[in-house]
Structures are given as structure tokens and as C-alpha cells.
């Protein structure tokens, strides 16, 4: 141990001893919610934890980073006070010496003489020949166990994870996907639809109490984007489907949700809080752009039911006029300008990570008697099938003019493009085209626990028939799985990106097995077959 490290540790111990000697009441401090890291750059990485204490006064928290698990060689350290005003969460932007870029390092926190668990993380490599990502979406705590997180945390070949949103859900007990929550002892906390800052904080705390989620966060950095359920269902810039007048101001609810999000997530906060789009350059191998498609610029979704008069007459011309309105926005001009920022290096994969599907998807013919057996909110399927319309207007299908602008921007940069998306709870592999031009491949990751399409149809359509019918209907769609929960991995090398869709066979028990549903090799500029 060198002299500098010895003095650092001595100062650490001196503070703890002096505090305990002179404090009238000994505080009890715990790190119940684990540790996490995220948003790495070549120089810095966000480190996060939460302090649980029997006191409401401010708490001084120290952090240490080492290149050895025994912490004999400290390469970064610091301290930060945390208070009730930030829900006693701690988030530091740790500067790591450049010589450790791309190398695994270890970190921990300490307060009142108590240490947190040890996490592992890294800053982005300046030169790398292969890099493997895990991709997650739609993790509903009451719906089942987070076995997908557990599985990925054990896979030593994964370098980093991306969570594409719906990290948590806003509903109360008895609502969406809570059918098994009592038997699993996973009822929502608080037992109400979350609206206030306190509500969102409690819900984040419940999710972070999950040991499988903690294990994922402690084993690798995770890049996180929100979608709608971190706020409320089908949110857009100024409101949401699941926000009613008796729930107060939507703008206040959105601010509550985003404040809690930044407190509880290992993310670097942008200057404008809602503009949470970011870029990560992983050597010269991957230029990853994490987009924001929900609340920074999104126009209100077009509601197909608004164009059905007298319960039967669909005003198609008016509907299409509004749908194709060039002023309708999903990501906005600022984000389009951000996307244009590129080094134009032919060696680099351009990876666009977003919350909602880019590809057009339409439903095959489904008999009316099956649709009549579904919940009322799905009755519009009759119209989209009859009129041959896209069925999910909350995705890019609801914003065709801006999708065209987005794809033309991407096309001008490179043909070495991959798009990844969450939101749907199902697996997708699409070719993305603009006119006659192939732009890139799109991969949609399955949900961690939220119900998929096969469950939404209540078993009324055999799974294979539904999947095959979707493939026949949608020529851009090359593979889908509408049954399994799980996650996606993508292993990048210079010449090929290998994707694997990983299925978790059981989310209602901690005993589970995994299997590879589909392995897809993606070559630059070549369509999926």
C-alpha cells in the first residue's frame, strides 16, 4: 500500500470514529437498495446508491474505486452529502484515470462505518475489437420474477446493458398485470396509481429492492432510457392516456416522475431534464445513440376511435390527413440535429436505441368473434384490419412523416445501421426501408415480465398461427416470437453483429431455464432474410 492510499483510508476511519464518539444517538445506516453504475464515457462513469437510515438529517457518504477487488489500490475516491431532498440517494460522476479505460474496476460506498456491496463497472474503451450488449424492456414487478436480469448478470460475456424503458409501472393492485402479485408477494407499493413525488420514490424503491435487479446493476453498467410507464401509460409531451383531470396537473406529475427517476437511476442528468438523449462512442466499433421518444417532443397520439362515427362509419380520409400531418413530432428537430452528429467512419456500427418500434406492422385478418372476446379497448382491431392500417399508433407508425425524416437522416450517415426497440413485450426482427432504400435491421427485445401478444389474445389464437400470419402480412418482418419473456443480446465485431433472443421459461418461480430462441447474424448493408 502506498503512502497516499494509506492516508486516504486513515482519513476514512478517523471520520467514522470521531462521528460515533461524539454523536448522541448512533445512526443505523444500511445500503438496502444495492449499487449501480451507468452512462460511462472514456473518462467518467456514474455511480449510484441509496442510504437507508433511522435519521432524517444529512448523511456524508464516501465512495472508492479500485482496480482490485480488495481495494488495496484506490484509483478514484470522493464524498457527497445526501439529504431527504434527494430521497437519500447518492449519485457521483466518478473520474477514472485514462489508463484504466475499458478495464473492469470495482466500486463501493461507505457511511457511518458501514460499507455497501461491491459493484463492478468500467469506462468506455478507446479501442476494442468486440463488444457485447444486453437489451431489456418492460419489467413489471407484480407480473413475475426478474429472472431475465438474473440470467444476464451471470453471463460474463456481456459487457454492458441497455434498458429501453418501462423499467417500472405506475398501476395499483388489481390493475394491469397484477394477477399473480399476491401469490408471488409482489403487490405494488404504494397500493395506488403513482402520481406524487413520494409515490414515484416508493415505487422506485420497491423495484430497487429486487435482488435480481440489484445483481444486474452491480455486475455491469446499464444505460437507461424511460418510456411511458415511468410516468404513466401512453404519455406524450403535454398529457397521457392514463392521466385524468381528477389526478391534478399532468405537468406536475411529469416533473414528479422525472425528479424521482433522476434520483433513483444511474444516469447523468442533461441540462434540460426532459431531453434525455445521449451518445456513447465505444471505441471505433459502435456509435450508440440512445434516443428519447416519449415526453420531450412527442405530439399527441392519433386516436383511431375518434374517427369512427355512430359506432361504425370510419372517416378514413380525415384520419389519414391527421396521421400524415408533417407537423406531428415524435423526437423533434433538436434530436434530429443530434442524430446528424457523426464521425462518418465506415468502420463504425451506428446503433440507434429507442423505446418504440420503427417498422410498420399490420395485423392479419382476425375473425370478429375473437376480437369481440377481447377487452373493449381492443375493439379498434376490427377497423385497422378492415382498412389495412398499422395497429400501434403509439409507435413510429403513428408518426410517418417524422419517421421519413429520421430515416433519411440516418441513411445520409451510413448503411451500417441497427435499430433496437422495446415497448411491445415481444420479439421482432425487421428490415427497415425508406422507399426503395434499405436503411438497416431492427431488433425488438421481449419484455422482462410484462404480458405479450399471445397473452393479450387470451389463447384464442394458437401462437404459431398468429406468428406465421404476422410474417405473411408484413413483408419487412423476418421473424417474431409473441410468447416468451426474456431479453436480447448483440455481440459486435467489425464485420458482423450477432444477435440472440434469450427466452426465460418461467417468471412465476425462481427456478427457470433459458434458451436461445433465435440467432441472427447482421452484416452491414445486407437485409435480413
Domain boundary among 81, 102, 126: 126
Q: Are residues 377 and 478 in the same domain?
A: yes
For residue 252, is it within any domain? yes
What's the pLDDT score for residue 343? Answer: 74
pTM of this prediction?
A: 0.94
What's the pLDDT score for residue 27? Answer: 86
Closest CA to 118 of 35, 42, 41: 35
Q: Are residues 261 and 380 in the same domain?
A: yes
For residue 111, is it within any domain? yes
Answer for the pair 322, 301: CB distance below 8 angstroms, yes or no.
Answer: no
Q: Are residues 186 and 54 in the same domain?
A: no
DSSP 6-64: HHHHHHHHHHHHHHHHH-SSPPPEE-TT-EEEE---SSEEEEEEE-EES--S-EEEEEE
What is the spatial distance between Cα 65 and Cα 74, in angstroms, rounded to a whole number?
A: 6
Q: Are residues 112 and 194 in the same domain?
A: no
Dihedral, CA atoms, 240, 242, 243, 244, nearest 10 degrees?
A: 130
For residue 396, is it within any domain? yes
User: Which grid cell is 336?
Assistant: 434530429
- Per-residue burial over 169-180, b if 16 or more Cβ lie within 10 Å, else e, is bbbbeeebbbee
What's the pLDDT score for residue 60? Answer: 98
Q: Are residues 49 and 187 in the same domain?
A: no
pLDDT by residue for the chain (529 residues), tens only, comes to 454 454 454 444 444 444 444 445 688 999 999 999 999 999 999 999 999 999 999 999 999 999 999 999 999 999 999 999 999 999 999 999 999 999 999 999 999 999 999 999 999 999 999 999 999 999 999 999 999 999 999 999 999 999 999 999 999 999 999 999 999 999 999 999 999 999 999 999 999 999 999 999 999 999 999 999 999 999 999 999 999 999 999 999 999 999 999 999 999 999 999 999 999 999 999 999 999 999 999 999 999 999 998 878 999 999 999 999 999 999 999 999 999 988 767 789 999 999 999 999 999 999 999 999 988 888 999 999 999 999 999 999 999 999 999 999 999 998 899 999 999 999 999 999 999 999 999 999 999 999 999 888 878 999 999 999 999 999 999 999 999 999 999 999 999 999 999 999 999 999 999 999 999 999 999 999 9
What's the pLDDT score for residue 38? Answer: 98
For residue 483, is it within any domain? yes
Q: Are residues 16 and 93 in the same domain?
A: yes
What's the pLDDT score for residue 6? Answer: 43
Answer for the pair 19, 90: CB distance below 8 angstroms, yes or no.
Answer: no
Helix 211-219, helix 197-208: angle, nearest 10: 80
For residue 198, is it within any domain? yes
Q: Are residues 388 and 516 in the same domain?
A: yes
Q: Are residues 120 and 190 in the same domain?
A: no
Domain carrying residue 62? 3-126
Residue 213's alpha-carbon distances to 125, 210, 484, in angstroms, are 25, 5, 19
Q: Domain tally for the chain?
A: 2
Dihedral, CA atoms, 471, 422, 179, 264, nearest 10 degrees?
A: 180
Q: Are residues 440 and 516 in the same domain?
A: yes
Closest CA to 447 of 147, 33, 133: 147
Pairing of strands 308-309, 52-53: unpaired
* Domain of residue 189, CATH code: 3.60.21.70
What's the pLDDT score for residue 1? Answer: 47
What's the pLDDT score for residue 16? Answer: 45
* Domain of residue 17, CATH code: 2.60.40.380
Q: Are residues 24 and 121 in the same domain?
A: yes
What's the pLDDT score for residue 459? Answer: 82
Pairing of strands 427-434, 437-444: antiparallel
Answer for the pair 330, 339: CB distance below 8 angstroms, yes or no.
Answer: no
Amino acid at each position: 500500500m502506498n503512502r497516499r492510499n494509506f492516508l486516504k483510508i486513515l482519513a476514512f476511519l478517523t471520520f467514522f470514529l470521531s462521528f460515533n464518539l461524539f454523536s448522541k444517538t448512533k445512526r443505523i445506516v444500511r445500503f438496502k437498495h444495492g449499487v449501480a453504475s451507468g452512462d460511462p464515457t472514456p473518462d467518467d462513469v456514474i455511480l449510484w446508491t441509496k442510504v437507508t437510515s433511522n435519521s432524517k438529517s444529512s448523511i456524508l457518504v464516501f465512495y472508492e474505486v479500485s482496480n482490485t477487488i480488495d481495494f488495496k489500490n484506490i484509483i478514484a475516491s470522493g464524498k457527497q452529502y445526501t439529504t431527504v431532498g434527494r430521497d437519500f440517494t447518492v449519485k457521483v460522476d466518478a473520474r477514472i484515470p485514462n489508463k484504466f479505460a475499458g478495464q473492469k474496476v470495482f466500486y463501493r460506498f461507505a457511511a457511518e462505518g458501514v460499507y455497501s456491496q461491491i459493484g463492478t463497472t468500467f469506462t468506455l474503451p478507446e479501442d476494442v475489437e468486440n463488444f457485447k450488449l444486453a437489451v431489456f424492456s418492460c419489467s413489471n414487478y407484480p407480473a413475475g420474477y426478474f429472472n431475465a436480469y438474473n440470467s444476464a448478470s451471470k453471463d460474463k460475456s456481456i459487457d454492458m446493458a441497455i434498458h429501453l424503458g418501462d423499467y417500472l409501472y405506475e398501476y395499483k393492485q388489481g390493475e394491469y398485470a397484477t394477477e399473480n402479485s399476491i401469490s408471488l408477494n409482489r403487490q405494488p407499493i404504494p397500493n395506488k396509481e403513482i402520481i406524487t413525488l413520494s409515490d414515484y420514490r416508493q415505487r422506485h424503491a420497491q423495484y430497487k429492492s429486487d435482488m435480481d435487479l440489484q445483481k444486474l446493476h452491480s455486475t455491469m453498467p446499464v444505460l437507461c432510457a424511460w418510456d411511458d410507464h415511468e410516468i404513466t401509460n401512453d404519455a406524450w409531451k403535454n398529457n397521457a392516456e392514463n392521466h385524468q383531470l381528477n389526478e391534478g396537473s399532468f405537468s406536475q406529475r411529469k416533473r414528479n416522475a422525472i425528479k424521482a427517476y433522476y434520483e433513483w437511476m444511474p444516469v447523468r442528468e442533461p441540462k434540460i431534464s426532459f431531453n434525455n438523449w445521449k451518445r456513447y462512442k465505444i471505441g471505433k466499433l459502435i456509435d450508440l445513440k440512445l434516443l428519447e421518444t416519449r415526453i420531450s417532443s412527442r405530439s399527441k397520439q392519433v386516436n383511431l376511435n375518434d374517427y369512427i362515427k355512430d359506432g361504425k362509419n370510419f372517416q378514413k380520409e380525415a384520419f389519414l390527413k391527421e396521421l400524415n400531418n408533417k407537423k406531428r413530432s415524435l423526437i423533434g428537430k433538436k434530436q434530429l440535429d443530434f442524430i446528424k452528429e457523426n464521425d462518418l467512419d465506415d468502420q463504425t456500427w451506428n446503433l440507434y436505441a429507442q423505446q418504440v418500434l420503427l417498422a410498420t406492422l399490420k395485423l392479419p385478418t382476425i375473425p370478429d368473434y375473437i376480437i369481440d372476446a377481447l377487452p373493449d379497448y381492443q375493439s379498434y382491431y376490427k377497423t385497422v384490419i378492415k382498412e389495412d392500417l398499422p395497429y400501434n399508433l403509439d409507435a413510429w407508425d403513428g408518426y410517418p412523416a417524422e419517421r421519413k425524416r429520421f430515416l433519411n437522416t440516418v441513411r445520409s450517415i451510413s448503411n451500417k445501421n441497427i435499430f433496437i426497440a422495446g415497448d411491445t413485450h415481444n420479439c421482432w426482427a425487421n428490415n427497415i426501408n425508406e422507399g426503395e432504400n434499405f436503411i438497416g435491421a431492427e431488433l425488438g427485445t421481449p419484455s422482462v415480465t410484462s404480458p405479450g401478444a399471445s397473452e393479450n389474445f387470451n389463447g384464442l389464437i394458437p401462437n404459431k398461427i398468429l406468428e406465421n400470419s404476422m410474417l405473411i402480412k408484413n413483408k419487412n418482418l423476418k421473424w417474431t416470437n409473441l410468447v416468451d419473456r426474456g431479453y436480447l443480446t448483440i455481440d459486435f465485431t467489425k464485420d458482423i453483429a450477432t444477435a440472440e433472443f434469450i427466452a426465460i421459461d418461467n417468471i412465476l418461480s425462481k427456478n427457470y431455464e433459458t434458451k436461445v430462441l433465435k440467432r441472427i447474424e447482421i452484416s452491414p448493408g445486407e437485409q435480413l432474410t
